[in-house]
Every structure is written in structure tokens, then in C-alpha cells.
Structure 1
Amino acid sequence: MRRWTLKAGATTVEGLVLEDVPMPVPGPGEVRIRVRAVSLNYRDRLVLQGFPGMRLLERDLVPVSDGAGEVDAVGAGVETWRVGDRVTPYFFKNWHDAPPTEVDYGLGGHDTDGMLAECVVLPASRLARAPESLDFAETSTLPCAAVTAWNALHGGRPLGPDSQVLVLGSGGVSLFALLLARAAGARVFATSSQDDKLRRMISLGAREGVNYRDTPDWGRAIFERTGGVDKVIDVNGTSSLPQSLTAIRPGGEVALVGLMSLEDAPSVATQVLFKGATLRGIAVGSTKMYDELSRVIDQHRIRPPIARTFRFEDARDAYRAQASPELFGKIVIAL
């Protein structure tokens, strides 16, 4: 069996090595999945490069959290899955419904091997059923970006059919948030630094877009055009929070997906105070959120946005493509 391994201490894709290893065997309570596709997230680049709070890799690691495939062997005591079932993994191992008491780095994040292999073995409880309407490539895009978008939209204040939502940029989370918000009947607005990407987001259902390079005070521009949005899906962190808070209506919510710094804390605190706003941190989501997301995808026939598909042997090239500023949509590696 082949798998890609990030070698201990690796900080670039040159540390990603293709290996031949024995076929894993599922133990009691475990399931083996024949992987058919994986997809990359910005988070997978951070595993390589490191980000605040994460140490460099201290052991060899099979990377990538997101994938999809079919069950091809089950261990003793497993009654929930059968050979041939189409599945995808949950990002976290123990977050089912209530807010988690602790959040780990997820599959392929640091301490747990991920999905970039021809076959993987996981606990039966860590698997979700693939949506019936999606193929393996599309399903592979869901566990991190799509669940994060679902959490940002539906995990806090209710999102109604008359709601207004602002998504920042055109990364995977923002594109899923656009599609899911439209499925809920919300009006969606978008920002980007590229007019072409704004046009493509409008073609996916966004009502209007603002180029934040041409309009540095984009939060004010959005507020004036909308009267204030109900939610902002902020994938950046505190660098954009003052503008995000300017864009929301009184009582609105900013779903903070990006990593935070403290550089803008005073102005952020003032905005939150005077608008009575909610600032909610987002760390992917629970198994319940995935199951709700899956039902909505089937109901509304939502098609995940895939930009490019690479061969398994070209995983390094897939990583490089994921880092491109021109990227619009998900990068998938097919097996």
C-alpha cells in the first residue's frame, strides 16, 4: 500500500515522501477505508509551516484531514458499517453535539495520521456516511471547510430566509458559506481583491461584491448598501475584524474562522461594546453539524466547488496549487 508521509521536522512539500507500507488491518471497533479522494485545506499548509500554538512535527505524519472512500474491511464488534459503504471521516474524534471540552488538531494535524494514503484505518465512531448526491471527490471536500462554514452560519444566532450574510474572500470556507447561505434563503455579499473572483461569486449566488483593495473601507461600504448584515464569515482574524464589525447591524454576529492576533483589540472591543455584537470563534464543527450539513446538501443538490484534481502521485503539486493566490475552489487528489 502507498501513502504520503510528512517527515519529522518537515516545513515544505519537499518533506512529503511517497512510501510503500504494509496494508493496515482494522482492530476491534475499527474500520478500514479504501480512499478514493482527498481534498486540501489552508489548514494543511499550516501543518507544514506551523502556526501559533503548534510545534513542528516531531514524528512522521500521514497528512490531510479530508477524504472520502468506501469501507473494505471491518474489525471485531463493528455493526454500524458494512463493506462497500461510502464514508468520510469526522474532523474531530470526540465532538458530537455540545461544545467541546477540548479541541485537538484533527486528522493529519499533528498527533493523528490523516487521509493521504490508499487505505486508512479509523475508529468506526469517527466515520460519517457520504451524502447520496455527491461523488467521492465532492464528498472529500466536506469534513473541514464545509462543516466550518455550516458552524459559522448555523452554530450561533439563527439564520433566517431574510438574513444578510457577508463572506470574506473566496477560499473554501467562504465558498461553502455562500452556497449554504443561499440554500437557506439568505442574501449574500462578498469581498475579494480580484474582480474576476467577485464575478464568479456572483455567478454562484452572491448578490453583490466589493473589491477590498479598491475600497479599503469595505465594512462601511457594505453597511451603507445593506443597512448592516446579520453575519460576517471572517476567515482572516483581527486584521479584518474592525471592518467586519463595521459591516454588521446592531446585534449582528461575526463568526471568526481565522487565527487571531491582538493588534486591533482596542478598536474591536469598542465595536463589540457599542453594537452589542457577538464575536464567535469557529473551530470546524461537531458530528451533529456534519450530519445536518449532509442532509441539506442532498436536499438542495449543492455541488462543492472543485478547482482542480490531481493524481495521487502528484500530491506535492496539489499542495503547491492550493497555495496559489488565483485559486478559486477546492483542490482534490484522486486515487
Structure 2
Amino acid sequence: MAPAKIKQWTISNKEKGFDELQYGEAPFPSIGENSVLVKLHAASLNYRDLIIPKGLYPFPLTLPVVPGSDGAGEVVEVGAKVTQFKKGDKVTTLFNQYHQYGPVDIRSSKSGLGGVIDGTLRQYGAFNENGLIKSPDNLTHLESSTLSCAGLTSWNALYGLKPLKPGQTVLVQGTGGVSMFALQFAKAAGATVIATTSSKEKEKKLKELGADHIINYKTNPEWGEIARTLTPNNEGVDNIVEVGGAGTLAQSLKCIKFEGVISVIGFLGGVDRATQPAILDALSAICTVRAIYVGSKELMNDMVRAIEANDIHPVVDPKVFTLDKVKEAYEYMWSQQHFGKMGIKIE
């Protein structure tokens, strides 16, 4: 029998930090004829989750909301008109619930799970069947729960505009979830990967994951010039996964190849309009600077097929938190102690 209540997290306000996260009980969710009831077994955190309660998130929010875009679990009930899933299926959430095919549009951009629509930091959730995909056969629930935001964003960066080709060069920044997915996807495609980090310990892990070249950006602040020398004929990097912000973008522009793509995904290093490069700098570099807002269900299913075909397993930090310890997980991730994705186990 289903419980009368479930445990979940809620954000009711923003701008006051992680104290806005409230853990409590809620009624057991009910489903409609096009909905699927999922017993969530795992979730994972993204930088986006951290900045929502801090009032820094630039996209639509509808508060109060259950946070978390990334989750995976098992289908326990389906609505009368559901055709894509059956009871017992392993499923993973789609970030923008309305983004099914093609480029993102205004309507899709306002359907973010854990921002506009109740998310995954809860025991059970009811989702429209279009807002789920079948989890990869080779992954656990915890591994699958990392795909919705970081995984799909990385896949979009490498395949959404100019599909990556074997022999090309990809540069990834740091060791967060997006960068680690990009490293794995690029190596599976036969690309050369340059990675940046500031830690000797993380440098070792990057080598184990297959990074061909590693640059310490603390000891080499002009790492863009160094990265260029690591490419054939010093022509530059084909695809850069840009997560840093104002400071790193300047270096990315120094090493991008003519007609290369810089995929702007985040701003971990902050935003400084006084010092960050101007958009016209892309003209000098003869490159495309492209902002990415995750990706479509179509792209996500393409990614799942690649994960299964290459037996790719997401990089998950060894420290996994339980649902009742989500606030501690936010603090841990905010302090940048994690490597790869930050996982949450849900009982």
C-alpha cells in the first residue's frame, strides 16, 4: 500500500541561501491519465540547484517548488492513456519537461523541473510521460540520476550544433559533472581531450579518465596559449566546454580554432561585466560562442544510446548523501569538495 505522506524538500523563497531549503511531509502524489508515478531511488545536484535559493538563477521559477531536476527511479503506476512506459520500467527525468524535439523555445524554457515544476528531491513524483526517458540498461539508478542536466548539457555541447568527429580536440574546464561527461563522451568519440584543473589530486583522476593533456590553471593563468600549442599545427581547439565565466572565457577565446565552438554552460568563476570579453571578440577568433540550456528529449535518447553502446558510467563523487541530508550535500558541493556528480540516495 502507498503511504499517506511522502518526505520531500521545498524552497518557498529565494535570496536567503540554503536555509530556504525545508524538509517535511507532503500528500502522496496522484496521477492523471497522461501521467506516470515514479518511486524515486536517486537524485543528483547541479550548480543550478545551489544558486536557486541564493537568488542567482536567471531562468523562470515558480515558488514554492520541490527542488532538483535530476532523478531516476521505477515506474509504479501509469495513467490510462500512457503509451511510453509500463509498471516496473526504470526511468530518468527530463530537465525541461516540454522540450521534446529541436531547438529550445520560450515555452520549453519555462518548464524546468525543480524550478517551475516540482522536481526530484522527494520519495515519489508524478510526471507527464513526455517528461521521462527510459534509463540506460547499463546504469544504476544513482548513475542514471546524473544524466538530466549535466549529461544532456554536455551531449548538446558536443553534438547539438556541430557533431564532434574523431580526431578533433575538446577542452573541458575543471572536474564538475558537465566537464566529466564531456571528457567521457569525447574520448568515446575518438577525440583528444585537454582538461584544466587546479589540483594535483584531481589531475591524477583526470588522467585515469583518459584526459590526454592537463593544464593547471592556477600555476598557468594564461592556459589558453598553452592549450593552443597542444593542438595539431597550433591551430586551436575544436570544441570548448565553457563553465567558468568571465575569466575562463577570455582564455577560451585564445585557444579556440577558426570555426570552432565555445559552448557557454555556466559561470562558476563569476560574472564581471567590466573584464569579461565582449561578444565582438568572437569575430576576432572566428568562432561560434553558443549558450546552452540543457537539451531536448530527442537529444537525451541519442545520448542514452551512446552510453549503452560505449558502456559509459557517469563519474559520481564517492560521498553520497541520503534524502534527509540534502542541505549538507548543498554545502559540500558549494565548497567545491566534490569530483564529478553529487549523488543523493532516496529510500
Same fold? TM cut 0.5: yes
The one-letter code matched in structure 1 to 2:323 is: F
Q: Secondary structure at the match of 1:240?
A: helix
Q: Secondary structure at the match of 1:180?
A: helix
Deviation at 1:304, TM superposition (A): 0.6
Q: Would you say 1:316 and 2:327 are equivalent positions?
A: yes
Q: Secondary structure at the match of 2:329?
A: helix
The one-letter code matched in structure 1 to 2:127 is: L
1:201-259: CA deviations, max 9, x gaps? Answer: 11101001111111111000111222211111101233322210111122211111124
Separation of aligned partners in 1, 2:215 and 2:38:
43
Separation of aligned partners in 2, 1:283 and 1:238:
18
Aligned to 1:12: 17
Question: Which segments of 5 or more consecutive residues in structure 2 lack a partner in the other structure?
Answer: 1-5
Q: Secondary structure at the match of 2:88?
A: coil
Aligned to 2:30: 25
The one-letter code matched in structure 2 to 1:315 is: V
Aligned to 1:292: 302
Tell me which of 100, 106, 112 is aligned to 1:106: 112
Deviation at 1:79, TM superposition (A): 2.3
Q: Secondary structure at the match of 1:205?
A: coil
Q: Cα–Cα, structure 1 residues 53 and 138, in superposed 2: closer, same or farther, change >3 Å?
A: closer
Question: Which segments of 5 or more consecutive residues in structure 1 lack a partner in the other structure?
Answer: none
Q: Would you say 1:186 and 2:196 are equivalent positions?
A: no
Q: Secondary structure at the match of 2:320?
A: strand
Within-5 A mapping of 1:47-86: 47-51=52-56, 53=58, 59-86=63-90
Aligned to 1:3: 8
**Is the CA contact (8 Å cut-off) linking 1:39 and 1:330 kept in structure 2?**
yes
- The percentage of aligned residue pairs carrying the same residue is 37
The ranges of structure 1 where at least 4 consecutive aligned residues each deviate by more than 6 angstroms after the TM superposition are: none
Separation of aligned partners in 2, 1:91 and 1:267:
30
Tell me which of 251, 269, 277 is aligned to 2:287: 277
Aligned to 2:3: none
TM-score (norm 2): 0.91
Separation of aligned partners in 1, 2:181 and 2:50:
19
Separation of aligned partners in 1, 2:332 and 2:92:
23
Tell me which of 139, 153, 157 is aligned to 2:158: 153
Separation of aligned partners in 1, 2:184 and 2:58:
32
Q: How many pairs are equivalent?
A: 332
The one-letter code matched in structure 2 to 1:182 is: K
Deviation at 1:112, TM superposition (A): 1.2
Q: Secondary structure at the match of 2:22?
A: strand
Q: Cα–Cα, structure 1 residues 97 and 218, in superposed 2: closer, same or farther, change >3 Å?
A: same
Q: Would you say 1:234 and 2:238 are equivalent positions?
A: no
RMSD over aligned CA atoms reads 1.8
Separation of aligned partners in 2, 1:326 and 1:78:
41
Aligned to 2:311: 301
Greater CA deviation, 87-96 or 62-71? 87-96
Within-5 A mapping of 1:198-237: 198-226=203-231, 227=234, 228-237=236-245
Separation of aligned partners in 2, 1:5 and 1:52:
16
Separation of aligned partners in 2, 1:97 and 1:127:
14
Greater CA deviation, 259-268 or 301-310? 259-268
1:133-191: CA deviations, max 9, x gaps? Answer: 00100000000000000001111223111100100111110010001100111000011
Deviation at 1:305, TM superposition (A): 0.6
Q: Secondary structure at the match of 2:294?
A: coil
The one-letter code matched in structure 2 to 1:279 is: V
Q: Cα–Cα, structure 1 residues 282 and 134, in superposed 2: closer, same or farther, change >3 Å?
A: same
The one-letter code matched in structure 1 to 2:260 is: G
Deviation at 1:266, TM superposition (A): 5.5
Q: Cα–Cα, structure 1 residues 328 and 125, in superposed 2: closer, same or farther, change >3 Å?
A: same
Separation of aligned partners in 2, 1:208 and 1:266:
26
Q: Cα–Cα, structure 1 residues 96 and 51, in superposed 2: closer, same or farther, change >3 Å?
A: same
Tell me which of 23, 40, 45 is aligned to 2:45: 40
